[in-house]
A = this chain, B = another copy of it.
Amino acid sequence: MLENTNRTDISTLGEFGLIEHLTSQFEIKNNTTLKGVGDDAAVIKVDGKCLLVTTDLLLEGIHFDLSYYPLKHLGYKAVSVNVSDIYAMNGTAKQITVSIGMSSKFSLEAIEEIYEGIKSACEHYEVDLIGGDTSASKQGLILSITAIGEAEEKNIVYRKGAKDGDLLCVTGDLGGAYVGLQVLEREKIVFLADPNAQPDLDGHDYIIGRQLKPEARKDVIDFFKKAELLPTSMIDISDGLSSEIFHLCSQSEIGITVYEDKIPIDPTTYNMAREFDFDPTMTTMNGGEDYELLFTIDQKDYDKVKNDHNITVIGHCVPRGEGIHMISKSGNKHPLKAQGWKAF
């Protein structure tokens, strides 16, 4: 059944190419489906309101390594990455479903720890667990979460909508989750070589926390509401700043110029990147898993964000033909390349 005379390796398409390839033949038939595949979340219109729906699959050995990932944190993160997609549409997360597959190596106590993390996230984000599925698996842990959110149709922010002259903004700081992962991977190798070695995690709390317990930016969505600020486009940073900039440009049909010296990076992230011999800027551009928000605003709204310490203006939109560039600290202009995290 799996034998095919024409065998195309999936990795040749990449994740986004694969989704596009598989779903482009599907037609939308229900007039309540406002937006299907192609944004952070789908949009369903129900009477006066809109519902947002997003889903993520997290697989052991692909998305997480249980040798250093505490189960409670894993449960928390699985919820965070999903509600983050709802916030990226400027919506309020309301419900989640959790499906879990687990092999016989997992005890009830282990699964309870995952659910403790899920519960803690449900309380933090004020979402209800409304359903799911549980099953044995042949190998490893499988977590599939779907998040549902609400928004007024006029307040939904898509990846499409940025226009020439808009300012490009990012929340928090970038690259921390990636260098945090490198520290954890390094300590795992030390541990495998000498199981009596103690992990050297001192002073790395911030970046390890960025990797193990990312927080979705509910606070920023609350701020938008309070400040009466409606971004022109938005996406969450799961695959790296560079990759997300490409998504905004492609869907909004614009170009973007981003300034290297404006990209927010925490000093501990910066120092650790140097210790690993990484270019700190490349870490912020291609690291991924920061779950910060990247959005564009009209210039007239600059006053609303300029004093907010959570938000940094890092660039601006230009006409599509001008392309996507970074102005380096030395003032040179380089074309940007999308890399991002690849699951294949």
Interface of A toward B, CB cutoff 8 Å: 1-2, 4, 6-10, 12-13, 15, 18-19, 21-23, 25-26, 28-30, 32-33, 35-37, 41-42, 44, 46-49, 51, 53-57, 59-63, 66-67, 69-71, 94-95, 97, 99-102, 104-112, 115, 119, 122, 126-140, 142, 144, 146, 148, 150, 343-344
- Cβ of A35: which chain B residues have Cβ within 8 Å of it? 130
B59 touches A101 (CB 8 A): yes
Q: Which residues of B contact A102 (CB under 8 A)?
A: 10
Which of A9, A94, A99 is packed against the most chain B CB atoms within 10 Å? A99
Q: A2-B107, A25-B115, A42-B97 are in contact. List 6 more A-B contacts (CB 8 A).
A: A1-B110, A29-B127, A33-B128, A47-B48, A55-B99, A135-B344
Given contacts A37-B130, A109-B7, A51 and B49 within 8 Å (CB-CB): no
**B130 and A53 contact, CB distance less than 8 A:** yes
Contact (A59, B135) CB under 8 Å given A42-B95, A47-B47, A129-B37: yes
- With contacts A129-B26, A131-B36, A343-B135 taken as known, whether A97 is within 8 angstroms of B61 at the C-beta atoms is no
Instruction: Check A131–B37 contact: CB distance below 8 A.
Output: yes
Chain B residues whose C-beta falls within 8 Å of the C-beta of A94 in the assembled complex: 30, 32-33, 44
CB distance from A343 to the nearest CB of B (A): 5
- Give Cα distance in the complex from A310 to B48, angstroms: 38
Q: Top 8 nearest A-B pairs by Cβ distance?
A: A47-B47, A42-B130, A144-B144, A8-B108, A46-B46, A57-B99, A61-B138, A7-B107
A48 to B47 Cα, complex, angstroms: 7
B29 and A126 contacting across the interface, CB-CB below 8 Å: yes
Kindly list chain B residues whose C-beta atoms are within 8 Å of the C-beta of A6.
109
In the assembly, what is the distance between CA of A41 and CA of B130, in Å? 9
Q: Are A97 and B53 in contact, with the CB atoms below 8 A?
A: yes
Chain B residues with Cβ below 8 Å from A126 are 29-30
Residue of B nearest to A44 (CB): B95
Partner of A2, one of B26, B105, B119, B137: B105
Closest-by-CB residue of B relative to A63 is B135
Contact, CB under 8 Å: B42 / A46? no
Contact with A57, one of B1, B19, B133, B343 (Cβ below 8 angstroms): B133
